[in-house]
Structure 1
């Protein structure tokens, strides 16, 4: 983009209107980054961040600390079940032969270390993490890639293909 005095004046006017950099770029037929760069070089006044919202103060809610999990493979056992839910016992009625209430065990989540057996197995996740049926595809991986042929086709997409999908 050649910045002549006419385009600089137009940039200053649109900037003074308070338009976003993307909108200024659309109106001038240039990229948002070109607008940001030129505004910086012209020392135009900074805009308030759209991310910061100082009008409403947030109330901090204390959260319980997450359990720390060591990163090394040897630090975690293959499967670490959660402790069973506490059994709630109710006082028995005054009848002598009343059976005790039966409590069914709750399903426990399973925490597994990364189960990739070697550098030649696919590590594509299958299922919902944290559930008992969560696992990884263990088919033979492509050379130099962490996935098998089927999952590599999903994971690696050419940049040109993505731009065509977006259009």
Structure 2
């Protein structure tokens, strides 16, 4: 049984780390358990004692418990997010090294960046004439697609009839919302 012995220098009880306990610490650390979980399994040792021993042993960064952390770190996108017309978002996972105290830790980081994309426009598209409505003239059944600069006098809204479930007419809804299959292809 390990016993805690107060050190003359600090007066704080110090844990005797046997070879067996050190091996168990290394095994649990490599499995991705937290310092608190390891301390609970070892018994008679604090979370801080585990962290200190990990640093003194120069153990590599802890494995990620519970699977891929990059999926949890990324914000979820809305099902019908407006699309940007001139770029495609790409996501890449890179391994980076960072320091935590005296320990160098490696972790996977998801990097999102924009890539220029060539836009292929249909030549067959008929753009509907807008009714040029002011904000006060809009109703539940009119298209609320803004046209022009809001700071200029010629600013207006499309005003064409919109389906019941959409704020936009059929034409502007196709511009604003991208089907989920097309979003997946862009990744």
TM-score band by shorter chain is 0.3 to 0.5
TM-score normalised by length of structure 1: 0.35
